[in-house]
Structure 1
Amino acid sequence: MIGKGHAISQTKDSISYGWNQEKDAEVVFRQHLMGENPTEIAREFRFIQSQNHYCKNNTLSFILSPTIEDGKKLNLRDLQEICLKFTSQMKLINRQAIGFVHRDKEHLHIHLYVNRIDFNGNVYDDSFLDPRSMRTAVQVAQQMNLTTVKDVVLEKLGRLSPVRSKIRSIHDHVINRYRPKNFDQYIRHMKAKGVEVIPSITKDGNLRGFRLAYGNHNLKASEIHRSMGGGNLAIELYGRSIIRSNNIIPVKIEGTLVPIAPKLAHRIATRIASKIIKQTKGVGIEI
Structure 2
Amino acid sequence: MIGKGKAISHTKASIEYGWNQEKDAEIVYKKNLAGETPKEITEEFKIIQSMNDKCERNTFSFVISPTIEDGKKLDLKDLNKITSEFVKDLKLENHQAIAFVHNDKNHKHIHLYVNRIDFNGTAYKDNFIGKRSQKTAEKVAEKLELQTVKQIKEQKLENLKEIRKYIKEKHELSFKLFHPENYQQYINQMRQFNIQVKPVINKSNQLQGFRYQLNNINLKGSEVHRSLSINKLKSKFFEIAKATLKQISITK
TM value normalised by structure 2: 0.91
TM superposition outliers: structure 1 runs of 4+ over 6 Å: none
Note the 1:120-159 alignment, pairs <5 A.
Answer: 120-159=120-159
**How far apart, in 1, do the equivalents of 2:204 and 2:103 lie?**
36
**How far apart, in 1, do the equivalents of 2:10 and 2:238 lie?**
47
1:211 partner SS: strand
Q: 1:159 to 1:83 in 2, by over 3 A?
A: same
Residue in 1 aligned with 2:63? 63
Q: Output the amino acid matched with 1:226.
A: R
Residue in 1 aligned with 2:181? 181
The answer for unaligned runs of 5 or more in structure 1 is 242-287
Q: Output the amino acid matched with 1:127.
A: N
Residue in 1 aligned with 2:5? 5
> In the alignment, is residue 95 of structure 1 matched against residue 95 of structure 2?
yes
1:212 partner SS: strand
1:213 partner SS: strand
Residue in 2 aligned with 1:33? 33
> In the alignment, is residue 195 of structure 1 matched against residue 189 of structure 2?
no
Q: Output the amino acid matched with 2:188.
A: R
**How far apart, in 2, do the equivalents of 1:11 and 1:234 lie?**
47
1:184 partner SS: helix
Q: Output the amino acid matched with 2:214.
A: Y
Residue in 1 aligned with 2:248? none
1:111 partner SS: strand
Greater RCO structure (CA 8 Å; 6+ sep): 2
RMSD: 1.5
Residue in 2 aligned with 1:230? 230
**How far apart, in 1, do the equivalents of 2:92 and 2:150 lie?**
25
**How far apart, in 2, do the equivalents of 1:92 and 1:5 lie?**
13
The answer for unaligned runs of 5 or more in structure 2 is 242-252
**How far apart, in 1, do the equivalents of 2:26 and 2:177 lie?**
59
Residue in 2 aligned with 1:44? 44
Residue in 1 aligned with 2:54? 54
**How far apart, in 2, do the equivalents of 1:14 and 1:231 lie?**
42
CA shift, 1:71, in A, is 0.4
Q: Output the amino acid matched with 1:185.
A: Q
**How far apart, in 2, do the equivalents of 1:7 and 1:54 lie?**
14
Q: Output the amino acid matched with 2:227.
A: S
**How far apart, in 1, do the equivalents of 2:234 and 2:80 lie?**
46
Moved more, 101-110 or 205-214: 205-214
Moved more, 185-194 or 9-18: 185-194
Q: Which string of whole-angstrom CA distances, capped at 9 and with x for unpartnered residues, describes residues 168-226 of structure 1?
A: 00001112322222211111111112211012234664433221011332111110101
**How far apart, in 2, do the equivalents of 1:75 and 1:233 lie?**
48
Q: Which string of whole-angstrom CA distances, capped at 9 and with x for unpartnered residues, describes residues 231-287 of structure 1?
A: 332333247x9xxxxxxxxxxxxxxxxxxxxxxxxxxxxxxxxxxxxxxxxxxxxxx
> In the alignment, is residue 161 of structure 1 matched against residue 148 of structure 2?
no
Q: Output the amino acid matched with 1:147.
A: Q
**How far apart, in 1, do the equivalents of 2:107 and 2:150 lie?**
18
**How far apart, in 2, do the equivalents of 1:179 and 1:215 lie?**
25
**How far apart, in 2, do the equivalents of 1:178 and 1:6 lie?**
47
Q: Output the amino acid matched with 1:121.
A: G
